[in-house]
């Protein structure tokens, strides 16, 4: 048997009409219609009349009938043309679920088609809208540039603007003339004004006013100032007497006095405490807590909350009564007892603690609190020993007992007993080991390892003990510790081991620190993981926390795994340079050049450190070894040349450069050769070398720049112009070359030629902020401010917003009124917030406003953003010269020397001057600081 119903027992389908399929229709009986039959309808009457008229020959009626039928058919046709109009053919249909599903499907199809076309339609509409707005701009857009120009209008110019409809200003002048008319003032007014501020100093006995006083009024009233003063004194005396009656009475009862201190104290007591505002309506909270207590009297937190509410309201007695009731209802709740002890004084608290311990003799917290209530050490020891009799397995009680002992031997006895009773307590074992002699401590730690094989703290203590005994290098405790902990599945994570190593470093256990890192740093990392980056990040984190020995150990382990990694060697060398000794740095670099002999950076670092230490011969030997490992390397050649040049070995340096041009003929070697001859003021030799270099490297822009500069030094401006012109044709993408060309033309007084050069430069190197800024400066130097502003607007439209820092700085300081600089700076920071040039400009604004802390923070932001920009260092140093301490200036100079900045508009101009070639970073910094303005 199946669960399916019989056909005749199933319900009829929805919208089912019996007999409709075979053509049967329903019928109506007389009982359905009622007692009377309904008369003919209006349509039946019209049809009957029309038929009768046709039989009688009235064709007009027939024609009218046909016209009505045609009109009705036309009306039906128009109605049927609308698919949503259901009053026609389907007016009598029934709207079922199938129709609803069909409408839903058609609606989804329409939405999908609309979504497919929406993107193209919206794009087309947007383009049409933009085209319409471009052809029909708003009036506000048409006058936007003029509105922006209103910022430069002064207050006097604004006040001089004529009123609307008064373009001549004639009526305005007439109004001003009316307001500026003068009239003669009567003598009576002057006399009254002269005596208005005078006060009489004498009073006649009869109440008459003194001489010179104004006359009395006609009603005869007289103002007696003496009587007014006496009345005021009487009123004040009455008020003081009233206040004294409410004060504290004296012992005799005959007089009262007001105590100012007591009065103020009573005022302070009458005020609600500050924390009362946190509760709000105390009465409402009290009712709520009373309901909680009545509903569940065994709820300890409810009693505590009620007591603290009363304490908050300043009713300490009520609070004690509430918590006492709570102790009666919740005798096993140590929190309630502790609250009761806290709310009472020491004498009552001892009694309460004794009652609490009687009912909760296994509560460690109550025993400790009872111990703290005692005054002398002997009583505290007695309480804690009673507690240990009841709870001998409590680690906290044993620790309190040990802390109370002053004699180390008694403390050792207690710890020995504690470790017997609680053998799994790591802290107790470690405390006992610290109190024992080194030999006994070793035995204690061996016992501790047997009882707590999963504790890494015991293994670290054992390693530190070996270090203390002088066996730290010989006995590798941490290696065995790692093996045992891995076997016991109790190995901590790498981060936890690093934390333990840093703790050892803080406590002076350097060997143990290194052993921990060496044996555990690689745990949990596979070869597929980026181990080198992970370890470098760990070392940086330790350095940030000041744990340099831990970082040194991490680098040492990383170099064991990656002995040929130049990145790790450089990081280790930086650590030693900044936080280590010079000998340690030399040792690291020696290992580095032996491990990575083909890295010229490491060789040059080692040679530089030797040279800076004054060991010139050793530096030469290092470079000689570098030549053997890296023949024909231009960096090593140039380092050798610099070493000889700095030590005044001119001929040797020249010979090395000549040899380098033969064996390593690169464009940089040729450029350094030319620069060397310029520094020696051998301009003819330099010119010959630069010509030879250009024959070999015509696309190297620095050679063209040096050629033009040599001609300028020789005073040959036409030849310099020719060199720059040829250079920009050979290397049209060099911005510094275009700038030198334009400045040469400007220096000769050919401003139109300079503008032409800059226009060509902007076409060759579009979107260059340096070229646009130079164009603006050219117009400012020529005195054409309007043209400079126009160029600045064009520059802001052409250069991307992220590169507009230089333009904004120029606009703020040279094209904006002082009052408008700060709003301009806010707008600039929104568009190019991370540009160091802009950050320095904003710092200078705060400097001008004497907001020194703000200025210093912005200067530091600029240096963090780009520490290679020498101009930022110079501005910061100049600021510190005026408003900084000597220590801060020395710190900035030290950091700048360490960074060795190489870029910056003023920095490069001064640093690359041949006359400053032998000067250090500190001297260049001071020269640039004096130059910037």
Token pair 């300890």 is found at 300
- 608, 582 in Cβ contact below 8 A? no
So what's the pLDDT on residue 119? 79
Residue 20 β-bridge partners: none
**H/E segment holding residue 178:** helix 170-179
Indicate the angle between helix axes 334-343 and 364-373, nearest 10 degrees. Answer: 20
| CB-based contacts of 703, cutoff 8 Å, min separation 6 | 667, 670, 671, 674, 690, 693, 694, 697
- 910, 878 in Cβ contact below 8 A? no
So what's the pLDDT on residue 843? 92
- 932, 874 in Cβ contact below 8 A? yes
| Cα 854 to Cα 874: distance, rounded to the nearest angstrom | 18
**H/E segment holding residue 98:** helix 97-135
| Cα 379 to Cα 849: distance, rounded to the nearest angstrom | 67
Q: What is the 3-state secondary structure (H, E, C) of 600-653?
A: HHHHHHHHHHHHHCCCHHHHHHHHHHHHHHCCCCHHHHHHHHHHHHHCCCHHHH
Would you state the torsion angle of the CA atoms of residues 350, 351, 352, 353, taken in this order, to the nearest 10 degrees? Answer: 50
Among 770, 316, 360, smallest CA distance to 368 is for 360
Take residue 396 and report the two structure tokens written for it: 């906290």
So what's the pLDDT on residue 261? 41
| CB-based contacts of 740, cutoff 8 Å, min separation 6 | 705, 708, 709, 724
Kindly tell me the number of DSSP H helices and DSSP E strands found in the chain: 51, 2
**H/E segment holding residue 256:** strand 256-257
Coil, strand or helix at 73:
helix
Kindly report the CA angle at 389 between 388 and 392, in degrees rounded to 5? Answer: 50
Take residue 231 and report the two structure tokens written for it: 């009345």
Please report, for residues 67, 271, 279, 315, 327, the alpha-carbon distance to residue 308 in angstroms, rounded to integers and kept in the order given: 98, 19, 11, 10, 14
| Cα 202 to Cα 325: distance, rounded to the nearest angstrom | 76
Among 708, 712, 709, smallest CA distance to 726 is for 708
- 479, 494 in Cβ contact below 8 A? no
| Cα 899 to Cα 919: distance, rounded to the nearest angstrom | 16
- 480, 524 in Cβ contact below 8 A? no
Take residue 49 and report the two structure tokens written for it: 């009349």
- pTM value surpassing 0.95: no
Indicate the angle between helix axes 300-312 and 316-329, nearest 10 degrees. Answer: 170
- Chunked into runs of 10 residues, the chain (933 residues) has average pLDDT values of 62 70 59 54 75 62 48 47 50 69 88 81 87 81 74 78 57 59 62 58 45 43 64 64 48 39 40 46 84 88 90 89 91 91 90 90 89 87 87 86 83 84 85 82 84 86 84 80 86 89 90 90 77 90 91 92 90 89 89 89 87 84 85 82 81 84 85 87 88 90 91 89 92 92 90 91 91 92 90 91 89 88 87 86 90 90 90 92 90 88 89 84 90 85
- 619, 611 in Cβ contact below 8 A? yes
**For 424-509, where are the alpha helices, taking DSSP H only?**
426-435, 438-451, 456-468, 477-487, 494-506
- 707, 693 in Cβ contact below 8 A? no
| Cα 822 to Cα 847: distance, rounded to the nearest angstrom | 12
Q: What is the DSSP letter of 248?
A: E
Please report, for residues 616, 777, 927, the alpha-carbon distance to residue 910 in angstroms, rounded to integers and kept in the order given: 28, 20, 8
DSSP string, 290-343: HHHHHH-TT-HHHHHHHHHHHHHTT-HHHHHHHHHHHHHH-TT-HHHHHHHHHH
For the chain, how many residues are written? Answer: 933
Please report, for residues 1, 404, 731, 774, the alpha-carbon distance to residue 832 in angstroms, rounded to integers and kept in the order given: 83, 65, 30, 19
């Amino acid at each position: 048997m199946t669960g399916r119903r019989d056909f005749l027992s199933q319900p009829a389908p929805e919208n089912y009409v019996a007999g409709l399929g075979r053509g049967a229709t329903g019928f109506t009986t007389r009982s359905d219609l009622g007692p009377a039959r309904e008369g003919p309808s209006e349509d039946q009457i019209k049809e009957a009349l029309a038929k009768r008229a046709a039989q009688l020959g009235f064709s007009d009626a027939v024609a009218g009938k046909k016209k009505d039928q045609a009109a009705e058919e036309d009306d039906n046709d128009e109605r049927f043309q609308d698919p949503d109009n259901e009053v026609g053919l389907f007016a009598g249909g029934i709207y079922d679920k199938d129709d609803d599903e069909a409408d839903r499907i058609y609606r989804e199809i329409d939405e999908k088609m609309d979504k497919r076309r929406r993107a193209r339609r919206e794009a087309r509409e947007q383009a049409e809208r933009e085209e319409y707005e471009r052809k029909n701009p708003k009036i506000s857009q048409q006058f936007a540039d003029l509105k922006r120009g209103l910022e430069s209008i002064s207050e006097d110019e604004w006040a001089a603007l004529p009123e609307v409809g008064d373009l001549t200003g004639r009526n305005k002048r007439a109004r001003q003339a009316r307001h500026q008319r003068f009239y003669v003032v009567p003598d009576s007014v002057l006399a009254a004004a002269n005596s208005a501020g005078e006060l009489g100093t004498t009073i006649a006995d009869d109440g008459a006013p003194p001489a010179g006083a104004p006359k009395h009024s006609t009603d005869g009233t007289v103002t007696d100032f003496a009587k007014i003063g006496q009345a005021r004194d009487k009123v004040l005396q009455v008020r003081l007497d009233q206040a004294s009656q409410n004060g504290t009475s004296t012992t005799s009862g005959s007089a009262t006095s007001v105590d100012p201190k007591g009065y103020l104290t009573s005022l302070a007591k009458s005020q609600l405490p500050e924390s009362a505002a946190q509760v709000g309506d105390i009465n409402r909270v009290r009712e709520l807590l009373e309901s909680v207590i009545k509903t569940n009297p065994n709820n300890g937190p409810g009693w505590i909350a009620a007591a603290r509410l009363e304490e908050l309201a300043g009713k300490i007695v009520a609070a004690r009564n509430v918590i006492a009731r709570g102790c009666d209802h919740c005798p096993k709740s140590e929190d309630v007892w502790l609250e009761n002890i806290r709310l009472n004084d020491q004498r009552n608290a001892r009694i309460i603690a004794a009652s609490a311990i009687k009912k909760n003799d296994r509560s460690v917290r109550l025993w400790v609190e009872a111990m703290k209530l005692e005054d002398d050490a002997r009583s505290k020891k007695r309480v804690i020993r009673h507690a240990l009799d009841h709870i001998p397995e409590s680690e906290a009680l044993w620790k309190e007992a040990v802390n109370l002992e002053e004699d180390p031997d008694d403390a050792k006895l207690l710890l020995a007993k504690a470790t017997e009773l609680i053998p799994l307590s790591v802290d107790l074992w470690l405390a006992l080991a610290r109190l024992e002699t080194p030999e006994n401590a070793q035995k204690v730690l061996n016992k501790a390892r047997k009882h707590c094989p999963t504790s890494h703290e015991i293994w670290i203590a054992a390693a530190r003990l070996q270090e203390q005994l002088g066996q730290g290098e010989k006995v590798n405790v941490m290696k065995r510790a790692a093996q045992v902990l891995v076997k016991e599945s109790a190995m901590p994570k790498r981060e936890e081991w690093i934390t333990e190593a840093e703790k050892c470093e803080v406590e002076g256990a350097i060997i143990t620190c290194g052993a921990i890192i060496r044996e555990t740093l690689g745990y949990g990392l596979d070869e597929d993981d980026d181990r080198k980056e992970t370890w470098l990040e760990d070392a940086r984190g330790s350095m940030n926390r000041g744990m340099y020995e831990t970082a040194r150990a991490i680098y040492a382990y990383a170099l064991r795994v990656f002995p040929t990694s130049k990145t790790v060697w450089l990081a280790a060398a930086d650590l030693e340079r900044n936080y280590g000794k010079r000998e340690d740095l030399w040792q690291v670099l020696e290992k580095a050049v032996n491990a990575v002999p083909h890295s010229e950076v490491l060789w040059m670092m080692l040679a530089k450190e030797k040279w800076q230490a004054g060991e010139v011969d050793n530096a030469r030997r290092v470079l000689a070894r570098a030549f053997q490992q890296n023949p024909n390397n231009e960096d090593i050649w140039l380092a050798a040349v610099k070493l000889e040049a700095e030590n005044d070995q001119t001929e040797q340096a020249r010979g090395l450069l000549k040899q380098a041009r033969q064996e390593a003929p690169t464009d940089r070697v040729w450029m350094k050769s030319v620069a060397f001859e310029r520094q020696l003021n051998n301009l003819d030799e330099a010119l010959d070398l630069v010509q030879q270099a250009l024959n070999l490297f015509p696309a190297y822009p620095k050679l063209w720049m040096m050629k033009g500069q040599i001609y300028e030094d020789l005073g040959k401006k036409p030849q310099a112009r020719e060199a720059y012109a040829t250079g920009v044709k050979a290397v049209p993408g060099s911005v510094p070359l275009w700038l030198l060309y334009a400045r040469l033309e400007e220096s000769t007084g050919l401003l139109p030629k300079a503008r032409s050069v800059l226009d060509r430069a902007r076409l060759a190197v579009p979107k260059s902020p340096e070229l646009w800024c130079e164009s603006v400066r050219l117009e400012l130097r020529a005195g054409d401010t309007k043209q400079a502003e126009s160029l600045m607007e064009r520059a802001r439209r052409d250069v991307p917003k992220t590169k507009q820092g230089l333009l904004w700085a120029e606009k703020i300081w040279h094209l904006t009124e002082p009052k408008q600089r700060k709003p301009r700076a806010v707008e600039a920071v929104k568009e190019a917030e991370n540009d160091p040039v802009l950050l320095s400009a904003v710092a200078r604004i705060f400097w001008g406003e004497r907001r020194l802390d703000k200025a210093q923070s912005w200067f530091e932001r600029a240096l963090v953003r780009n520490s290679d920009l020498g101009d930022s260092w110079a501005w910061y140093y100049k600021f510190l010269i005026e408003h900084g301490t000597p220590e801060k200036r020395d710190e900035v100079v030290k950091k700048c020397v360490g960074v060795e900045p190489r870029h910056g508009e003023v920095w490069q101009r001064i640093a690359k001057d041949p006359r400053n070639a032998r000067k250090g970073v500190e001297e260049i910094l001071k020269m640039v600081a004096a130059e910037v303005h």
